[in-house]
Copies of this chain bind each other. A is one copy, B any other.
Amino acid sequence: MSPRKSVIETAATRTRIIECALASASADGLEGVTIGRLAGELGMSKAGVIGHFGTKEALQLAVLDAAVDRFIRRVPARVVGARPGAERLAGAFGEWFDYMADDHRGCFLTSVATEFDDRPGPVRDAVIAALSQWSAYILDELGAAVDSGEFPRDTDLDQLAFELNGVALATAQAVQLHHDPLAATRARRALARLLPS
């Protein structure tokens, strides 16, 4: 059989690489991550870095996966206890806003979505898949809100999701570009107007 501990070690290094790449990509974009710079920052050789993934594109996909995982753990996972519908939705968006405001980090997935919106390929596909999942989540909760009578039955849920997304995008821009300390506050105010509390 194959060795065990080495697998663990590998995973640890992989994680280190991915986290470093994630930090790098937050500043320079996912395409702006280079193996050489990554190796320098990690004190490794280029071959040692890319050996874990094979190609740069595979590394990009791994970074994207990690970002999605982090987002899920940080946002929807924190509101699983909330009542489905408007309450859970408001909670999720609130968590998202706070997440973005942390360290003026903004939203990595949103940035990558913009970066790859005109670049066909596996990365773009993965971004779209992740965003679709998130969109489905929102529509699910909006549906629950309608079912429980929080919204009128003829509410245009797609329209509402569109506008909620807009609030999040405006928040991301305010945080990342303008370092606006009021971003989260404005976001919550906009949210309150869209979702009945």
Q: Which residues of A contact B (CB under 8 A)?
A: 26-29, 31-32, 106, 110-111, 113-115, 117-119, 127-128, 131, 156, 158-159, 162-163, 165-171, 173-174, 176-178, 186, 189-190, 193
Q: Which residues of B have CB within 8 Å of A113?
A: 173, 177
Q: Which residues of B have CB within 8 Å of A166?
A: 163, 166-171, 190
- Tell me the bound Cα distance from A31 to B169 in angstroms: 22
- Tell me the bound Cα distance from A193 to B173 in angstroms: 22
B170 to A163, Cβ gap below 8 A? yes
Partner of A170, one of B106, B117, B127, B169: B169
Chain A interface, DSSP helix/strand/loop, else mixed: helix
Q: Which residues of B have CB within 8 Å of A114?
A: 110-111, 114-115, 173, 176-177
Question: Which of A111, A131, A171, A173 is most buried by chain B, counting CB atoms within 10 A of its CB?
Answer: A173
Q: Which residues of B have CB within 8 Å of A28?
A: 118-119
- Tell me the bound Cα distance from A47 to B44 in angstroms: 37
Q: A61 → chain B, closest Cβ, in Å?
A: 17
